[in-house]
Chains A and B, each alone.
Chain A
Amino acid sequence: MVMSINRLLPTMEIRERYIVFKIISDKNYSLEDTVKTIWSSILQLFGEVGSSEFHIWIPANLYNENTNTGIIRCSHDYVQQVRAAIALIRNIDHEPLIFKTLGVTGTMRSAKDKFLTVK
Protein backbone atom coordinates (compact mmCIF):
# COMPACT_ATOMS: atom_id res chain seq x y z
CA MET A 1 0.00 0.00 0.00
CA VAL A 2 1.29 3.42 -0.92
CA MET A 3 1.46 5.69 2.07
CA SER A 4 0.50 9.30 1.48
CA ILE A 5 0.72 12.23 3.83
CA ASN A 6 -2.29 14.26 4.74
CA ARG A 7 -2.95 17.58 3.05
CA LEU A 8 -2.07 20.73 4.93
CA LEU A 9 -4.89 22.28 6.91
CA PRO A 10 -6.77 24.82 4.78
CA THR A 11 -5.51 27.71 6.94
CA MET A 12 -1.94 26.55 6.49
CA GLU A 13 -2.10 26.02 2.74
CA ILE A 14 0.21 28.11 0.60
CA ARG A 15 -1.72 30.50 -1.58
CA GLU A 16 -0.44 30.28 -5.10
CA ARG A 17 -0.20 32.44 -8.17
CA TYR A 18 0.48 31.36 -11.74
CA ILE A 19 2.76 33.59 -13.80
CA VAL A 20 2.31 33.07 -17.53
CA PHE A 21 5.46 33.99 -19.42
CA LYS A 22 6.54 34.26 -23.03
CA ILE A 23 10.04 34.35 -24.45
CA ILE A 24 10.32 36.96 -27.19
CA SER A 25 12.96 35.64 -29.58
CA ASP A 26 13.34 34.35 -33.13
CA LYS A 27 14.34 30.91 -31.88
CA ASN A 28 12.47 28.22 -29.98
CA TYR A 29 13.86 27.00 -26.67
CA SER A 30 13.51 23.57 -25.10
CA LEU A 31 11.84 23.08 -21.73
CA GLU A 32 15.10 21.92 -20.18
CA ASP A 33 17.02 25.06 -21.19
CA THR A 34 14.19 27.35 -20.12
CA VAL A 35 13.74 25.76 -16.68
CA LYS A 36 17.50 25.77 -16.08
CA THR A 37 17.75 29.45 -16.99
CA ILE A 38 14.78 30.51 -14.86
CA TRP A 39 16.13 28.63 -11.83
CA SER A 40 19.66 29.97 -12.23
CA SER A 41 18.36 33.54 -12.43
CA ILE A 42 16.18 33.12 -9.33
CA LEU A 43 19.03 31.47 -7.41
CA GLN A 44 21.48 34.16 -8.48
CA LEU A 45 19.22 36.98 -7.37
CA PHE A 46 17.82 35.54 -4.13
CA GLY A 47 20.04 32.62 -3.16
CA GLU A 48 18.94 29.18 -2.00
CA VAL A 49 17.26 30.22 1.26
CA GLY A 50 15.50 33.16 -0.35
CA SER A 51 14.14 31.15 -3.26
CA SER A 52 12.98 28.34 -0.94
CA GLU A 53 10.20 30.68 0.19
CA PHE A 54 8.84 31.13 -3.33
CA HIS A 55 7.54 27.52 -3.73
CA ILE A 56 8.43 27.51 -7.39
CA TRP A 57 7.21 24.87 -9.79
CA ILE A 58 7.32 25.00 -13.57
CA PRO A 59 4.78 22.50 -14.97
CA ALA A 60 6.48 20.67 -17.84
CA ASN A 61 3.28 19.75 -19.68
CA LEU A 62 2.21 23.39 -19.97
CA TYR A 63 5.39 24.64 -21.63
CA ASN A 64 4.95 25.09 -25.36
CA GLU A 65 8.20 24.97 -27.30
CA ASN A 66 6.59 26.27 -30.49
CA THR A 67 5.23 29.46 -28.94
CA ASN A 68 7.86 29.73 -26.16
CA THR A 69 5.12 30.15 -23.54
CA GLY A 70 4.83 28.54 -20.13
CA ILE A 71 3.68 28.89 -16.55
CA ILE A 72 5.58 29.40 -13.29
CA ARG A 73 3.72 28.63 -10.09
CA CYS A 74 4.85 30.55 -7.01
CA SER A 75 3.65 31.68 -3.62
CA HIS A 76 1.31 34.69 -3.86
CA ASP A 77 3.55 36.80 -1.59
CA TYR A 78 6.51 36.55 -3.93
CA VAL A 79 5.12 37.29 -7.39
CA GLN A 80 7.14 40.50 -7.75
CA GLN A 81 10.37 38.72 -6.81
CA VAL A 82 9.86 36.00 -9.40
CA ARG A 83 8.87 38.56 -12.02
CA ALA A 84 12.01 40.58 -11.35
CA ALA A 85 14.18 37.46 -11.50
CA ILE A 86 12.81 36.39 -14.88
CA ALA A 87 13.09 39.97 -16.19
CA LEU A 88 16.82 39.79 -15.46
CA ILE A 89 17.34 36.86 -17.82
CA ARG A 90 19.35 38.12 -20.80
CA ASN A 91 20.12 35.05 -22.84
CA ILE A 92 19.85 31.30 -23.25
CA ASP A 93 22.95 29.72 -24.81
CA HIS A 94 24.30 33.20 -25.66
CA GLU A 95 21.18 33.99 -27.73
CA PRO A 96 19.69 37.30 -26.55
CA LEU A 97 16.00 37.27 -25.66
CA ILE A 98 13.27 39.06 -23.73
CA PHE A 99 11.25 37.34 -21.01
CA LYS A 100 7.79 38.87 -20.91
CA THR A 101 5.06 38.17 -18.36
CA LEU A 102 1.72 37.80 -20.10
CA GLY A 103 -0.25 37.83 -16.86
CA VAL A 104 -0.69 36.53 -13.33
CA THR A 105 -3.66 34.37 -12.36
CA GLY A 106 -4.99 32.70 -9.23
CA THR A 107 -5.71 29.28 -10.74
CA MET A 108 -4.04 27.13 -13.31
CA ARG A 109 -7.28 26.80 -15.25
CA SER A 110 -7.65 30.54 -15.74
CA ALA A 111 -3.98 30.77 -16.74
CA LYS A 112 -4.62 28.13 -19.42
CA ASP A 113 -7.93 29.62 -20.55
CA LYS A 114 -6.81 33.24 -20.67
CA PHE A 115 -3.30 32.99 -22.05
CA LEU A 116 -2.44 29.56 -23.41
CA THR A 117 -5.56 28.51 -25.32
CA VAL A 118 -5.60 29.43 -28.99
CA LYS A 119 -8.95 31.08 -29.65
Chain B
Amino acid sequence: MERKFNDLHIYSNLSIGQNSVADIIKTAESLGFSSICIIDHIKDKNKDNLDNLREEILKHKTDLEIYTGVEISTEDPEIMRLQIKRLRDRADIIIVSGGSSKINRAAVENPKVDILAHPERGRKDSGIDNVMAKLAFENGVAIELNFKFVLHSYRKVRAHMLSHMRTNIILAKKYKAPIVITSGAESIFDMRAGRELASLGALINLELSEALNAISSIPEDIIIHAKKVKDKNYIMSGVEVVKKEDM
Protein backbone atom coordinates (compact mmCIF):
# COMPACT_ATOMS: atom_id res chain seq x y z
CA MET B 1 0.00 0.00 0.00
CA GLU B 2 1.31 3.40 -0.91
CA ARG B 3 2.03 5.76 1.94
CA LYS B 4 -0.03 8.90 2.35
CA PHE B 5 1.99 11.91 3.39
CA ASN B 6 0.63 14.64 5.63
CA ASP B 7 2.18 18.00 6.44
CA LEU B 8 0.61 19.49 9.54
CA HIS B 9 2.40 22.84 9.80
CA ILE B 10 1.97 25.31 6.92
CA TYR B 11 1.22 29.04 7.16
CA SER B 12 -0.82 30.98 4.60
CA ASN B 13 -0.90 34.74 3.98
CA LEU B 14 -3.96 34.93 6.24
CA SER B 15 -1.50 34.33 9.05
CA ILE B 16 2.29 34.89 9.07
CA GLY B 17 2.89 33.13 5.74
CA GLN B 18 3.66 34.68 2.37
CA ASN B 19 1.53 32.70 -0.09
CA SER B 20 -2.17 32.34 -0.69
CA VAL B 21 -4.15 29.22 0.13
CA ALA B 22 -4.50 28.54 -3.63
CA ASP B 23 -0.69 28.51 -4.09
CA ILE B 24 -0.25 26.23 -1.08
CA ILE B 25 -2.83 23.76 -2.40
CA LYS B 26 -1.18 23.74 -5.85
CA THR B 27 2.27 23.11 -4.39
CA ALA B 28 1.06 20.44 -1.95
CA GLU B 29 -0.65 18.62 -4.83
CA SER B 30 2.50 18.71 -6.96
CA LEU B 31 4.56 17.40 -4.02
CA GLY B 32 2.19 14.45 -3.60
CA PHE B 33 0.68 15.16 -0.19
CA SER B 34 -2.67 13.59 0.69
CA SER B 35 -3.51 16.03 3.46
CA ILE B 36 -2.19 19.30 4.82
CA CYS B 37 -3.01 21.47 7.79
CA ILE B 38 -2.96 25.25 7.35
CA ILE B 39 -2.05 26.94 10.60
CA ASP B 40 -3.09 30.27 12.06
CA HIS B 41 -0.38 31.75 14.28
CA ILE B 42 -1.75 33.30 17.47
CA LYS B 43 0.50 35.45 19.60
CA ASP B 44 -0.42 35.76 23.30
CA LYS B 45 -4.05 36.89 23.74
CA ASN B 46 -4.65 37.86 20.09
CA LYS B 47 -7.78 36.69 18.33
CA ASP B 48 -7.76 33.96 15.71
CA ASN B 49 -8.44 34.18 12.01
CA LEU B 50 -9.84 30.67 11.67
CA ASP B 51 -13.20 31.61 10.16
CA ASN B 52 -11.60 33.54 7.29
CA LEU B 53 -9.14 30.72 6.74
CA ARG B 54 -11.90 28.14 6.57
CA GLU B 55 -13.93 30.31 4.18
CA GLU B 56 -10.89 30.69 1.92
CA ILE B 57 -10.24 26.93 1.92
CA LEU B 58 -13.85 26.16 0.97
CA LYS B 59 -13.46 28.28 -2.18
CA HIS B 60 -11.01 25.77 -3.67
CA LYS B 61 -11.91 22.42 -5.12
CA THR B 62 -9.23 19.82 -4.49
CA ASP B 63 -8.69 16.15 -3.65
CA LEU B 64 -6.42 17.15 -0.79
CA GLU B 65 -7.78 16.89 2.70
CA ILE B 66 -7.23 20.29 4.25
CA TYR B 67 -7.41 20.85 7.97
CA THR B 68 -7.15 24.08 9.91
CA GLY B 69 -5.15 24.50 13.06
CA VAL B 70 -3.70 27.06 15.39
CA GLU B 71 -0.24 27.61 16.73
CA ILE B 72 -0.30 29.24 20.14
CA SER B 73 2.79 31.33 20.78
CA THR B 74 3.19 32.73 24.28
CA GLU B 75 5.56 32.77 27.23
CA ASP B 76 2.80 32.41 29.82
CA PRO B 77 1.40 28.88 30.48
CA GLU B 78 -1.84 30.40 31.85
CA ILE B 79 -2.53 32.23 28.56
CA MET B 80 -1.71 28.99 26.73
CA ARG B 81 -4.35 27.12 28.78
CA LEU B 82 -6.97 29.82 28.18
CA GLN B 83 -6.31 29.86 24.44
CA ILE B 84 -6.51 26.04 24.26
CA LYS B 85 -9.83 26.10 26.12
CA ARG B 86 -11.16 28.73 23.70
CA LEU B 87 -9.86 27.14 20.51
CA ARG B 88 -10.01 23.37 21.08
CA ASP B 89 -13.51 23.03 19.66
CA ARG B 90 -12.84 25.28 16.69
CA ALA B 91 -9.45 24.17 15.42
CA ASP B 92 -8.69 20.70 14.05
CA ILE B 93 -5.15 20.73 15.39
CA ILE B 94 -3.58 22.64 18.27
CA ILE B 95 0.14 23.30 18.12
CA VAL B 96 2.02 24.98 20.94
CA SER B 97 5.07 26.94 19.93
CA GLY B 98 7.82 25.61 22.17
CA GLY B 99 11.07 27.19 23.23
CA SER B 100 10.80 28.28 26.84
CA SER B 101 11.03 25.59 29.53
CA LYS B 102 7.74 26.62 31.14
CA ILE B 103 5.80 26.34 27.89
CA ASN B 104 7.45 23.07 26.87
CA ARG B 105 6.48 21.55 30.22
CA ALA B 106 2.94 22.96 30.21
CA ALA B 107 2.38 21.72 26.63
CA VAL B 108 3.40 18.10 27.28
CA GLU B 109 1.28 18.07 30.44
CA ASN B 110 -1.85 19.04 28.52
CA PRO B 111 -3.66 16.19 26.70
CA LYS B 112 -5.55 18.74 24.59
CA VAL B 113 -2.35 19.79 22.85
CA ASP B 114 -1.61 17.82 19.68
CA ILE B 115 1.92 18.94 18.83
CA LEU B 116 4.72 20.65 20.73
CA ALA B 117 6.50 22.57 17.97
CA HIS B 118 10.28 23.11 17.93
CA PRO B 119 11.00 22.65 21.69
CA GLU B 120 14.70 23.39 20.96
CA ARG B 121 14.16 26.84 19.40
CA GLY B 122 16.39 29.58 20.76
CA ARG B 123 17.88 27.36 23.43
CA LYS B 124 21.28 26.01 24.34
CA ASP B 125 19.78 22.59 25.14
CA SER B 126 17.22 20.36 23.47
CA GLY B 127 14.26 21.79 25.41
CA ILE B 128 12.85 18.52 26.71
CA ASP B 129 14.13 16.10 29.33
CA ASN B 130 13.21 12.53 30.25
CA VAL B 131 10.28 13.63 32.48
CA MET B 132 8.80 15.73 29.67
CA ALA B 133 9.27 12.92 27.13
CA LYS B 134 7.39 10.55 29.46
CA LEU B 135 4.60 13.11 29.91
CA ALA B 136 4.44 13.58 26.13
CA PHE B 137 3.84 9.86 25.72
CA GLU B 138 1.20 9.75 28.48
CA ASN B 139 -0.70 12.75 27.11
CA GLY B 140 -0.24 11.89 23.42
CA VAL B 141 1.58 15.13 22.61
CA ALA B 142 3.77 14.74 19.53
CA ILE B 143 7.26 16.25 19.51
CA GLU B 144 7.88 18.13 16.30
CA LEU B 145 10.96 18.18 14.09
CA ASN B 146 10.56 21.41 12.19
CA PHE B 147 12.22 21.36 8.76
CA LYS B 148 12.07 25.16 8.32
CA PHE B 149 14.64 25.77 11.06
CA VAL B 150 17.10 23.37 9.42
CA LEU B 151 16.46 24.85 5.99
CA HIS B 152 16.97 28.45 7.08
CA SER B 153 20.06 27.94 9.21
CA TYR B 154 23.68 27.44 8.21
CA ARG B 155 26.85 25.87 9.54
CA LYS B 156 27.21 26.24 13.32
CA VAL B 157 23.56 27.09 13.97
CA ARG B 158 22.36 24.21 11.80
CA ALA B 159 24.76 21.79 13.50
CA HIS B 160 23.46 22.83 16.94
CA MET B 161 19.87 22.55 15.73
CA LEU B 162 20.43 19.04 14.39
CA SER B 163 22.21 17.92 17.54
CA HIS B 164 19.32 19.16 19.72
CA MET B 165 16.90 17.34 17.42
CA ARG B 166 18.98 14.17 17.83
CA THR B 167 18.67 14.42 21.63
CA ASN B 168 14.91 14.92 21.36
CA ILE B 169 14.61 11.89 19.09
CA ILE B 170 16.60 9.71 21.51
CA LEU B 171 14.35 10.81 24.39
CA ALA B 172 11.13 10.43 22.39
CA LYS B 173 12.15 6.95 21.22
CA LYS B 174 13.09 5.82 24.72
CA TYR B 175 9.77 6.93 26.22
CA LYS B 176 7.74 6.08 23.08
CA ALA B 177 6.53 9.66 22.63
CA PRO B 178 5.25 10.31 19.09
CA ILE B 179 7.58 12.21 16.74
CA VAL B 180 6.17 14.19 13.85
CA ILE B 181 8.12 15.80 11.01
CA THR B 182 6.63 18.96 9.52
CA SER B 183 7.82 21.53 7.03
CA GLY B 184 6.77 24.56 9.12
CA ALA B 185 6.57 26.37 5.79
CA GLU B 186 5.98 30.12 5.73
CA SER B 187 6.43 30.19 1.97
CA ILE B 188 5.66 27.58 -0.68
CA PHE B 189 9.41 27.36 -1.32
CA ASP B 190 9.89 25.99 2.22
CA MET B 191 7.65 23.02 1.40
CA ARG B 192 9.23 19.69 0.50
CA ALA B 193 7.83 16.31 -0.55
CA GLY B 194 7.13 13.72 2.15
CA ARG B 195 10.04 11.47 1.30
CA GLU B 196 12.50 14.37 1.34
CA LEU B 197 11.37 15.37 4.83
CA ALA B 198 11.68 11.71 5.90
CA SER B 199 15.20 11.46 4.47
CA LEU B 200 16.25 14.38 6.66
CA GLY B 201 14.78 12.59 9.68
CA ALA B 202 16.68 9.45 8.64
CA LEU B 203 19.96 11.36 9.00
CA ILE B 204 19.39 12.15 12.66
CA ASN B 205 18.91 9.02 14.77
CA LEU B 206 15.64 7.90 13.12
CA GLU B 207 15.37 4.67 11.14
CA LEU B 208 13.99 5.29 7.64
CA SER B 209 10.73 3.50 8.51
CA GLU B 210 10.34 5.60 11.66
CA ALA B 211 11.03 8.78 9.69
CA LEU B 212 8.42 7.78 7.10
CA ASN B 213 5.90 7.10 9.88
CA ALA B 214 6.65 10.53 11.34
CA ILE B 215 5.36 12.16 8.16
CA SER B 216 2.61 9.66 7.28
CA SER B 217 0.94 7.49 9.93
CA ILE B 218 1.65 9.58 13.05
CA PRO B 219 0.08 12.77 11.59
CA GLU B 220 -2.93 10.64 10.60
CA ASP B 221 -3.21 9.39 14.19
CA ILE B 222 -2.96 12.97 15.44
CA ILE B 223 -5.85 14.02 13.21
CA ILE B 224 -7.97 11.03 14.34
CA HIS B 225 -7.12 11.75 17.99
CA ALA B 226 -7.88 15.46 17.57
CA LYS B 227 -11.32 14.61 16.14
CA LYS B 228 -11.97 12.38 19.15
CA VAL B 229 -10.93 15.09 21.64
CA LYS B 230 -13.30 17.56 19.95
CA ASP B 231 -16.21 15.20 20.54
CA LYS B 232 -18.51 16.42 23.36
CA ASN B 233 -18.69 12.93 24.85
CA TYR B 234 -14.93 12.75 25.32
CA ILE B 235 -13.81 13.41 28.90
CA MET B 236 -10.26 12.09 29.03
CA SER B 237 -8.17 9.29 27.58
CA GLY B 238 -10.18 6.09 28.09
CA VAL B 239 -13.24 7.89 29.54
CA GLU B 240 -16.13 8.71 27.23
CA VAL B 241 -19.85 9.25 27.69
CA VAL B 242 -21.68 6.40 25.93
CA LYS B 243 -25.40 6.63 25.25
CA LYS B 244 -27.63 3.75 26.34
CA GLU B 245 -28.80 3.05 22.77
CA ASP B 246 -25.22 2.59 21.59
CA MET B 247 -24.46 -0.06 24.20
Interface residues of A (CB under 8 A from B): 24, 44, 79-81, 83-84, 86-88, 90-91, 96-101
Contacts and interface: CB of A to CB of B under 8 A. Distances in A.
Interface string B138-161: 000000000000111011000000
Contacts, number: 51
B199 A80 contact: yes
Contacts of A99: 192, 196
A84 B30 contact: no
A97 B196 contact: no
B202 A98 contact: no
A96 B151 CA distance: 12
A6 to B, nearest CB: 35
A87 B202 contact: no
Given A80-B208, A101-B195, A87 B200 contact: yes
Contacts of A91: 189
Contact of B196 (A44, A96, A101): A101
A100 B203 contact: no
20 contacts: A24-B27, A24-B30, A79-B199, A80-B202, A80-B203, A80-B208, A81-B203, A83-B195, A84-B199, A86-B196, A87-B199, A90-B151, A90-B152, A96-B189, A98-B27, A98-B31, A98-B191, A100-B30, A100-B192, A101-B196
Nearest to A88: B151
A56 B126 CA distance: 34
A90 B189 contact: yes
Interface in B70-123: none
A75 B187 CA distance: 33
B2 to A, nearest CB: 13
A74 to B, nearest CB: 12
Contact of A87 (B152, B187, B197, B208): B197
Interface of B: 27, 30-31, 150-152, 154-155, 187-189, 191-193, 195-197, 199-200, 202-203, 208
Contacts of B202: 80, 84
Contacts of A79: 199
A97 B189 contact: yes
A96 B188 CA distance: 9
Nearest to B200: A84
Contact of B192 (A44, A80, A81, A98): A98
B197 A96 contact: no
Contacts of B193: 100-101
Contacts of B155: 44
Contact of B199 (A24, A83, A97): A83
A75 to B, nearest CB: 15
Contacts of A83: 195-196, 199
A88 B192 CA distance: 9
